[in-house]
Amino acid sequence: MADSELPLVVGIGGTIGGVSSTERALRIALDAACQQGFRTRMFGGADMARLPLYDPKATTRTPEEREFVETVRQASALIIASPGYHGSISGVVKNALDLLEETARDAARPYLADMPVGLIATAYGWQATGSTIAALRSIVHALRGWPTPFAAAINSQIVKFDEEGGASDPAVVEQLMLVGRQVARFAPLAATAATP
Ligand SMILES: Cc1cc2nc3c(=O)[nH]c(=O)nc-3n(C[C@H](O)[C@H](O)[C@H](O)COP(=O)(O)O)c2cc1C
Determine the distance from the C-alpha atom of residue 12 to the mean position of all C-alpha atoms in its chain, rounded to a whole number. Answer: 4
54-105: pLDDT as tens digits? 999 999 999 999 999 999 999 999 999 999 999 999 999 999 999 999 999 9
Domains of the chain (ranges; CATH) run 3-191 (3.40.50.360)
Tell me what pLDDT residue 190 has. 79
Task: Tell me what the pLDDT averaged over the chain comes to.
Answer: 95
Ramachandran sector of residue 21 (left: φ over 0; alpha: ψ -120 to 50; beta: rest): alpha
Tell me what pLDDT residue 140 has. 98
Tell me what pLDDT residue 74 has. 96
Distance 104 CA to ligand 1 centre (A): 31
**CA quadruple 138, 144, 148, 152: dihedral, nearest 10:** -40
Distance 139 CA to ligand 1 centre (A): 19
Atom 16, ligand 1: residue with shortest CA distance? 123
Ligand 1 binding pocket includes 84 (Cβ within 6 Å): yes
Confidence grade of residue 3 (pLDDT, cut at 50, 70, 90): confident
Ligand 1 binding pocket includes 45 (Cβ within 6 Å): no
E-assigned strands of 95-192?
116-123, 146-147, 152-155
Average pLDDT on 182-189 reads 94
Tell me what pLDDT residue 180 has. 98
